[in-house]
Amino acid sequence: MSRESLYRSLSPKGNPTFKTLTAIIHAMGLRLSVVEKGRTKKQRPKPKAARKAA
């Protein structure tokens, strides 16, 4: 992705596509994830093996 395309996509009048955003995220060495609303890492349910032992 060229610098001009990046500036155009991220400008106030730009309309970046999901493909553009994922390319930017990948180029930055980041990962995008989707999690259930209202949950945090601490609230994840325990694995089944841990529940049986408890």
pLDDT of res. 5: 85
Q: Which domain holds residue 19?
A: 1-33
- Asked whether residue 3 is assigned to any structural domain, the reply reads yes
In total, how many domains does the chain have?
1
pLDDT digits (tens, 9 = 90+) for 8-51: 888 999 888 999 999 999 999 999 998 888 866 666 666 777 66
* Any domain includes 6: yes
Report how far apart, in Å, the C-alpha atoms of 19 and of each of 1, 4, 7, 22 are: 11, 16, 15, 5
* Residue 24 included in any domain: yes
Structural domain contains residue 2: yes
pTM, full prediction: 0.54
2 vs 49 pLDDT, higher one: 2
Residue 48 included in any domain = no
1 belongs to a structural domain: yes
Quick one: pLDDT band at residue 2, thresholds 50, 70, 90? confident
17, 20, 22, 23 alpha-carbon torsion, rounded to 10°: 170
